[in-house]
Amino acid sequence: MDSHPLTPSLFSDEIIKYHLGLLDSHTGQSEKQSQIDEAALAPIIASSALRRIQENDHSRSGANTGESAAGTTSLQYGLLAGSKQEIHSVQIQQTVSSSNAGSDGGSSTATLAPTSIDADTDPRLLFNISAPSSTFICGSQGSGKSHTLSCMLESCLIPSKLGRLTSPLTGVVFHYDTFISDACGSPCEAAYLASNGSVKVKVLCAPTNAAAIKKTYQHLNVTVEPLAIDQSHLNTKRMMDLMAVNSDDVPLYMESVKRILREMRMVQQNVDGGFDYADFKKRVNGCGLTPAQMGPLQQRLETLESFMPGSQTNIWGVGRSNAEARKGTDWRPVPGQLTIVDLSCPCVSPETACGLFNICLGIFLQQDANVGRVFALDEAHKYMNASPEATVFTETILSAVRLQRHLGVRIIVSTQEPTISTALLNLCSVTIVHRFTSPEWLRALRHHLAAAAEEHGTSRKNRAISTNGSGEAGSQEDGRRTGTLFDQIVRLKVGEALLFAPSAVVGVYKEQDRGLALERLGDDYLAIRVRGRLTEDGGRSVLSL
């Protein structure tokens, strides 16, 4: 049968032109604008590349035409690190300049801190705060993991000369320490951001350890209050997650719990109401479970109740005013505020901590997305184990990573062991590897990072992070890697790391008749040196001198 009379032929000039237009990867925008948009989404941007993009845009559009590259000039970013190779080049240049100045009778220190750096040797690497991203940080104890995490949080929360931050984010850090006593413990290192007056730090702790946590943080400018999960923050999914069990051994009571939650869900849909914990507990008590079945279920519910306002559970309410008893933790997002959920407590197991962290993360992510958000896991290896609770928490984090662009969230996971969740290695847009000495950890990296998948040795060139003087693609021969990947990792100094970020923009080059094109890190990596802290460093080793 002939095609519809109103449909032009597949091979007509009109249809061919239309189809080719749709196949153009930059349909609806100029090549220049497409490059700008891609750069604006990169998690890490070399300062030299950003400079070239903005200079090229201004030279083409003119300063007063209204066509400025809003995608890059309005970026929020902060200095994260510098390329070790380029830092070394700058140091050599400064040494030569200093020697020349000294031989001419000038000051030998005049050029040690130059006011400008040539674009071709600019070592600075910027953390893109505007775009959602996910970062995985790993390394041995004392290698600089928490320092790197704190530097990233500083960039997100503190307006400073580090970069551009017109709209500070709001942040949450999850912390759990197994070394805790009835007297005190070790504070989360991120709490030292409170030494900067522009950051408000709030610590949420277990009610059973409030006194010890207050002592732990008493020397810091933070507020400490017990974590209180309000009934309004509970829902069907969070209750199901709280009941996390091993899929190979599902207890019989779970079928009753699922049925009760389904029935309550139907009622909530009909009346447009919220979750009623008292009603849930009443239904559970009346569903005919045996004492043997009620035991494990009751333990989980009692754990949850110990973190809820007393008036909503009819426990722990003695001696409290009604207003105080009804009040739960306020999770409303505040720009420049960091909330640390520190559940370090002898009464809280790592499994319980993961279950509560999962609820807190869900509450945090459901808040108003108009305020930029960042959440971080500090020392994740201390609580991210093989338990069902940790598995559920990991799945929530993975979901956030997969949906980071839609949720508008930045995710940072800091851990000693890259093996805690290889799925995170697969999905995170940035991986920062500090020093470690475990071959097993290296095997995990090889299986999940493209740049570590095979040994490149000294034949692989480390891509430059800038263009050369003519604006052509940078391909300096002096950037060769030395030694094996494992050898490089073992030899890293404190604060040094290897950066794996395939979508990072590390340079720009000119394409014939098409202007500037972005050079991405791709299947390569960079040796970097993380910057110094703006705030007090609380992670120094305790020495006996």
**Full set of structural domains in the chain with CATH:** 129-227+329-530 (3.40.50.300), 231-323 (no CATH)
> Beta partners for 200?
337
Sign of CA dihedral 424, 425, 427, 433: positive
Q: In 313-327, which positions are buried (b, 16+ CB within 10 angstroms) versus exposed (e)?
A: beeebeeeeeeebbe
Res 251: pLDDT: 77
> Beta partners for 500?
431
Three-state DSSP class for residue 126: strand
* Cα angle, residue 55 at apex, residues 50 and 61 outer, rounded to 5°: 125
Res 474: pLDDT: 45
Classify burial at 142, counting beta carbons within 10 Å of its beta carbon; exposed 0-12, middle 13-18, buried 19 or more: middle
Q: Is the pLDDT of residue 99 over 70?
A: no
d(CA 434, CA 448): 17
pTM: 0.85
Task: Summarize the confidence of residues 357-373 as an average pLDDT.
Answer: 94
Q: Is the pLDDT of residue 488 over 70?
A: yes
Task: Summarize the confidence of residues 79-97 as an average pLDDT.
Answer: 78
Task: Summarize the confidence of residues 464-490 as an average pLDDT.
Answer: 57
Three-state DSSP class for residue 68: coil
pLDDT digits (tens, 9 = 90+) for 27-71: 555 566 666 778 889 999 999 888 888 877 666 655 444 444 455
Strands 526-530 and 496-500: antiparallel
Q: In 227-255, which positions are buried (b, 16+ CB within 10 angstroms) versus exposed (e)?
A: bbbbbebbbeebbebbbbeeeeeeeebee
Whether 344 and 176 have beta carbons less than 8 Å apart is answered as yes
* Cα angle, residue 326 at apex, residues 324 and 330 outer, rounded to 5°: 85
Task: Summarize the confidence of residues 121-136 as an average pLDDT.
Answer: 94
Q: Which residues contact 132 (CB under 8 A, 6 or more apart)?
A: 404, 405, 407, 408, 409, 410
Q: Is the pLDDT of residue 319 over 50?
A: no
Three-state DSSP class for residue 417: coil
Token representation of residue 412: 């940072």
Q: Which residues contact 136 (CB under 8 A, 6 or more apart)?
A: 413, 415, 418, 424, 425, 428, 430, 431, 432
pLDDT digits (tens, 9 = 90+) for 384-414: 998 889 999 999 999 999 999 999 999 999 9
